[in-house]
Structure 1
Amino acid sequence: MNILYSFIDESRHKYLMDRYLNTFPEDFKKDILKYRRWQDAQLSLLGRVLLQHGLNTHYGISEAEIGRLPNNKPYLKGHSIYFNISHSKNLVICAIADFPVGIDIEFSDDTINYLDFQFQMTAGEFEKIHHSEDKIKSFFTYWTKKEAVLKAEGSGILIPLDSFEILNNECIIDGKKFFTKEIFIDKKYSCCIASNKLDVQNKSICFELFQN
């Protein structure tokens, strides 16, 4: 399992656009050029660059075609390799594995009032957040776990966050068990990876900071 990540940088924006944008399909290029803020354009572009680099470097896949499932979840055509991309604030991350995977990263914004999100958690989860020593960290830990699970499951917003409870890094959705694992990338961010395969907890992870 490989996890690649990169921080965005305004001083590198023109270089990154010139270097990579024309290497992608026309529809993806158009989507990137629609963004008004350079931050959004670079986050989206780097997500695909990380995937491209990871597939080529670690899996020997030099040309990757991305398709969409009926639930709009992206997948890699012609290969039994799975990926998921997430970004928040100034950081973008990409997980690549040989089993289904979801990843979520969130900037730990200490201005957030976790009480506003009580309805998104189960009673048990909220109780643990509310009585934790670092409530903001605990909140974002649960939030990234639940978002990663939803991305691994594939139905996305069709499943309410409070409809399943994560206990001991496990949860069940529609009779299917999912497993989660916290990942440390940066002290200002919370990150978690999830899968319906126990491999997500047991397999070693290769981390790579992408700088180009």
Structure 2
Amino acid sequence: MLITNIIKIDTMSYHHLEKHYLDKLDIVRKSQITNFVNQLDKKRSIVAGLLLRKMLYCNFNLNPSELEFAIYRNGKPILVNNPCVFFNISHSNEFVACSVSSKPIGIDIEKIEDSNIDSIATVLHENEKQCIASKNNYKEKRDLFFKIWTLKEAFSKKIGLGLSYPLNEYYFSFFDNGKIIVHSEWENSCNFRSYGLHNSYVFSVSSSIVEQNKIVEYSLNDLIQLINCKGLQF
């Protein structure tokens, strides 16, 4: 099983979420939210916590009030009392994405923004830099950079190394049939998918069962209605 939900969070204020839903989250996430300075970061974290709990309940029948989370090595979050259930969360600007799965999973979503691609691509592997440089125009170079970036984030999160695995020590190859392969000493039967979202975001997933991924997108109001409708006991 591999399910991904993507939520657009611009339909409800942070203050409303803080008032009605912050106390429903676990102590680990509440501590993280307290440390955030930016209100948008706080809002995204509350939504991510609510979304994860809804997904674990709907797909694994796990009661939100019984969930126990912890931070594993390199910042990887785990479900302590259900180690065979895996999840991963990512967010960018107005979107929050969450995947739950029966297998280890890594995801990343990024807003595609105009940047000095030649400069920021220096952190990548030489093969990837050459691939980007071979593109015909700026848009193609920019879009490929963000695709590679999200794939690297998803892969490093899936294998549990995070940014401790230098970006220039492994690389991705892309094929005409859509297949994506990672060349890495840590490669462990990972498969990959990369998706465009609303013409200005890119979203990538790393999992051994990525072909099973079911993606559902909805609004924050939809999420709150689902939570209230199901009467989840947080």
Flag whether TM exceeds 0.5 (same fold).
yes
TM-score (norm 2): 0.81
Greater RCO, CA 8 A, separation 6+: 2
Residues 1:154 and 1:211: Cα distance change in structure 2 (over 3 Å): same
**Residue type of the partner of 1:129?**
I
- CA change 1:8–1:71 in 2 (3 A) is same
**Contiguous gaps of at least 5 residues in structure 2:** 175-179, 222-234
The corresponding residue for 1:82 is: 86
How high is the sequence identity, in percent, across the aligned residues? Answer: 25
Q: TM-score, normalised by structure 1?
A: 0.89
Say whether 1:141 aligns with 2:147: yes
**Corresponding residue number in structure 2 for 1:49:** 50
Task: Indicate if the aligned counterparts of 1:2 and 1:95 stay in contact, CA closer than 8 A.
Answer: yes
Instruction: Give 1:47 shift.
Output: 1.2
2:113 pairs with 1:109:
yes
String of CA shifts for 1:55-90, please: whole Å, max 9, x gaps: 111221112211222333111122211111111122
Structure 2 vs 1, CA of residues 175 and 147 (structure 1 numbering), >3 Å: closer, same or farther?
closer
Q: 1:171 aligns with which of 177, 182, 188?
A: 182
Stretch moving more, 80-89 or 115-124? 115-124
Which segments of structure 1 move beyond 3 Å, counting only runs of 4 or more? none
Distance 2:85 2:46 in 1: 20
Q: Distance in 2 between matches of 1:11 and 1:55?
A: 23
Distance, in Å, in 2 between the alignment partners of 1:189 and 1:53 is 24
Paired amino acid for 2:15: K
Is 1:4 aligned with 2:5?
yes
Q: Distance in 2 between matches of 1:192 and 1:101?
A: 11
How many Å separate the matches in 2 of 1:52 and 1:206?
17
CA change 1:154–1:60 in 2 (3 A) is same
For 2:105 and 2:124, the matched residues in 1 are separated by 22
Give how far 1:32 is off.
1.6
Shift of 1:132: 2.3
- Cα deviation for residue 11 of structure 1 reads 4.5
| 1:19-168 → structure 2 map (5 Å cutoff) | 19-63=20-64, 64-79=67-82, 80-110=84-114, 112-133=115-136, 134-168=140-174
Q: Cα distance 1:204–1:118, how it changes in 2: closer, same or farther (>3 A)?
A: closer
Q: 1:184 to 1:72 in 2, by over 3 A?
A: same
Query: Which stretches in structure 1 are left out of the alignment for 5+ residues?
Result: none
Cα RMSD of the aligned pairs, angstroms, is 1.9
The answer to which of 1-10 and 138-147 deviates more is 1-10
